[in-house]
């Protein structure tokens, strides 16, 4: 059985990490309890911002924007670079806090902080490459060009499962774009947010940047409503459920603000008859069971060719039986806890629904380690064989459940991949180049991320991250994602001394 730390031990480790980062004890001794999913116990307390506090924070960020937008982009990059250096220095401390609050095993927590460091590296380079185009004009003595300018205040709403990385994805690019930020983190991971914000504050002070360009608000959804509603917030980048997206998107659109939405996943992988099953097995198990199934890119649906389905399912079930489940702080643990009871209840309901809809539970699904951690929720990852058409597979459950269906023709497998309302990540395991190309083609996967011979999770910083349909259409991280944080202007420069009109129009 895994060795469980006590709640006091976790709290002490977190407090020591916060001390090293420079967060005062006063900031973590407020009236709002912070619990760890490792034991379910309280490890700290924080303050709670009011609606008035949030309004004031937006005001400060808006005022800071007026000066920050005038700072040359490479100079703005110097701030982001210093932030990255501090993230490197305090990587392990921040990872300790992420493990305590989100329940991630240490390698995943450290990997999340590494994502922050990676996006900072990308953003620093991008600060010297905010390129526009020059286009030929139809009029003699004229030049057409596009320029990119800072947008304004960016509101960032993040989820519990990636408590710091997604904030960094947005903030690193927003800052080099000349924007300021207001951050509302998930209520379950407030200590991670406080620590991350403290490191940015230190970087701001050391490089002499405006102190108010970043604002952290620890508020519930009602108090933080102004982030969605206020005209001063030009872009809202929100990560969460489809339900949340449906609620906030109309409000943002009504005031003609911009929305960058990263919502539900419900990701699938196809396993073709030519697949390397050893490779597929490793990719499937990590994507489906890693982070206790609490990634937006978690593999939730497996679409397997009939000829290899029985063998592969048997191998997955055997691999699941070897997964070390327990306190993420214990050496060798691979699967940590669910974030809370609500996640456990949702998993149990989904399994009941699956069975009612004709599914057969191959393995897993039960709560484990209840005697060792009565107030925490650890589960055995589940594998469920399902009929091809089942409503439960259309709904994303944020827990480790892998639904398995079979197919005979690749076109049918692609149709199964695409039939759900979400469209984030997808994958195919095949050694057939033609199958891979069909999956990646315009008539293949309809997801924002389409992989070949790799699982659905584990995206790299260099590529744009995001999905289609109910996933929201947003793009973060690499490629040209920086453009969402800026406004584009088309410029016409007349150096001819004449005034010809476009399209041959004549006017006195």
Domains of the chain: 7-263+472-488 (3.40.605.10), 267-460 (3.40.309.10)
Question: Model confidence over 404-451: pLDDT tens digits?
Answer: 999 999 999 999 999 999 999 999 999 999 999 999 999 999 999 999
Element spanning 490, H or E: strand 486-494
Burial tier of 336 (Cβ tally within 10 Å: 0-12, 13-18, 19+): buried
Give counts: helices (H), strands (E), the chain: 14, 23
The three-state secondary structure class of 302 is strand
pLDDT band at 366 (very low <50, low <70, confident <90, very high): very high
pLDDT at 1 over 60: no
Separation of alpha carbons 191 and 25, rounded Å? 11
pLDDT band at 2 (very low <50, low <70, confident <90, very high): low
pTM of the model: 0.97
The three-state secondary structure class of 42 is strand
Separation of alpha carbons 366 and 357, rounded Å? 19
Beta strands 382-385 and 360-363 are antiparallel
Question: Model confidence over 234-275: pLDDT tens digits?
Answer: 999 999 999 999 999 999 999 999 999 999 999 999 999 999
Active site annotation includes 85:
no
Burial tier of 272 (Cβ tally within 10 Å: 0-12, 13-18, 19+): buried
Give the Å distances, CA to CA, from 422 to 31, 269, 419, 437, 494. 38, 14, 9, 22, 48
Q: Which residue of the set 108, 115, 262, 396 is catalytic?
A: 262
Separation of alpha carbons 4 and 82, rounded Å? 37
| Predicted pLDDT at 458 | 85
Question: Bridge-partner residues for 486, per DSSP?
Answer: 150
Separation of alpha carbons 343 and 346, rounded Å? 5
Question: Model confidence over 19-63: pLDDT tens digits?
Answer: 999 999 999 999 999 999 999 999 999 999 999 999 999 999 999
pLDDT at 506 over 90: no
Max Cα-Cα span within the chain:
88
What are residue 407's phi and psi, to 5 degrees? -145, 165
pLDDT band at 184 (very low <50, low <70, confident <90, very high): very high
pLDDT band at 99 (very low <50, low <70, confident <90, very high): very high
Residue 422's contacts (CB-CB under 8 Å, 6 or more residues apart) are 242, 263, 264, 265, 266, 267, 396, 467, 469, 470, 471
Q: Which two tokens stand for residue 128?
A: 């010297």
- When the pLDDT of each residue in the chain is averaged and rounded to a whole number, the result is 97
| Predicted pLDDT at 106 | 97
The stretch 176-192 carries a mean pLDDT of 98
The stretch 76-105 carries a mean pLDDT of 98
Other beta carbons within 10 angstroms of residue 418's beta carbon come to 17
| Predicted pLDDT at 262 | 97
Count of residues making up the chain: 508
Residue 315's contacts (CB-CB under 8 Å, 6 or more residues apart) are 277, 281
Q: Which two tokens stand for residue 5?
A: 């730390």
Q: Which long-range contacts (CB under 8 A, 24 or more apart) does 242-251 make?
A: 242/396, 242/421, 242/422, 242/470, 245/470, 245/472, 249/472
């Amino acid at each position: 059985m895994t060795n469980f730390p006590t709640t006091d031990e976790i709290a002490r480790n977190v407090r020591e990490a916060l001390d090293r980062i420079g967060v005062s004890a006063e900031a973590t001794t407020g009236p709002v309890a912070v619990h760890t999913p490792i034991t379910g116990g309280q490890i700290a307390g924080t303050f709670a911002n009011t609606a008035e506090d949030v309004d004031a924070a937006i005001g400060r960020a808006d005022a800071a924007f007026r000066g920050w937008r005038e700072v040359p982009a490479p100079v703005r990059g110097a701030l982001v670079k210093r932030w990255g250096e501090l993230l490197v220095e305090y990587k392990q401390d921040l990872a300790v806090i992420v493990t305590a609050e989100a329940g991630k095993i240490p390698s995943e927590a450290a990997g999340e902080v590494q994502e922050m460091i990676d996006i900072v590296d990308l953003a620093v380079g991008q600060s010297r490459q905010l390129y526009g185009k020059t286009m030929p004009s139809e009029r003699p003595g004229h030049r057409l060009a596009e320029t990119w300018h800072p947008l304004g205040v960016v509101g960032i709403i993040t989820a519990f499962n990636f408590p710091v990385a997604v904030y960094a994805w947005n903030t690193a690019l927003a800052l080099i774009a000349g924007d300021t930020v207001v951050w509302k983190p998930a209520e379950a991971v407030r200590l991670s947010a406080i620590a991350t914000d403290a490191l940015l504050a230190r970087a701001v002070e050391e490089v002499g940047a405006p102190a108010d360009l970043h604002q952290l608000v620890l508020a519930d959804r009602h108090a933080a409503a102004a982030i969605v509603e206020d005209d001063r917030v030009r872009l809202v980048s929100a990560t969460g459920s489809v339900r949340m997206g449906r609620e906030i998107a109309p409000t943002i659109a009504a005031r003609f603000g911009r929305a960058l939405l990263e919502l539900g996943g419900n990701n699938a992988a196809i396993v073709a008859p030519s697949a390397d099953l050893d490779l597929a097995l490793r990719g499937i198990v990590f994507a489906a069971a890693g982070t206790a199934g609490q990634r937006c890119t978690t593999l939730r649906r497996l679409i397997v060719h009939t000829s290899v389905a029985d063998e592969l399912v048997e191998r997955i079930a055997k691999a699941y039986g070897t997964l070390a489940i327990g306190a993420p702080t214990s050496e060798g643990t691979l699967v940590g806890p669910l974030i809370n009871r609500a996640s456990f209840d949702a998993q149990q309901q989904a399994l009941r629904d699956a069975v009612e809809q004709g599914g057969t539970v191959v393995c897993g699904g039960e709560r484990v380690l209840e005697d060792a951690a009565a107030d925490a929720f650890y589960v055995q990852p589940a594998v469920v064989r399902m009929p091809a058409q089942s409503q439960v597979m259309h709904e994303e459950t944020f827990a480790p459940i892998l639904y398995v269906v079979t197919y005979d023709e690749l076109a049918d497998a692609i149709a199964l991949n695409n039939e759900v309302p979400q469209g984030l990540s997808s994958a195919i395991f095949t050694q057939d180049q033609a199958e891979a190309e069909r999956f990646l083609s315009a008539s293949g996967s309809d997801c924002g991320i389409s992989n070949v011979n790799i699982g659905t999770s584990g995206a790299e910083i260099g590529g744009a991250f995001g999905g289609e349909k109910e996933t929201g259409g947003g793009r973060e991280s690499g490629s040209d994602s920086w453009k969402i944080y800026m406004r584009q202007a088309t410029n016409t420069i007349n150096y001819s001394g004449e005034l010809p009109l476009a399209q041959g129009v004549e006017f006195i």
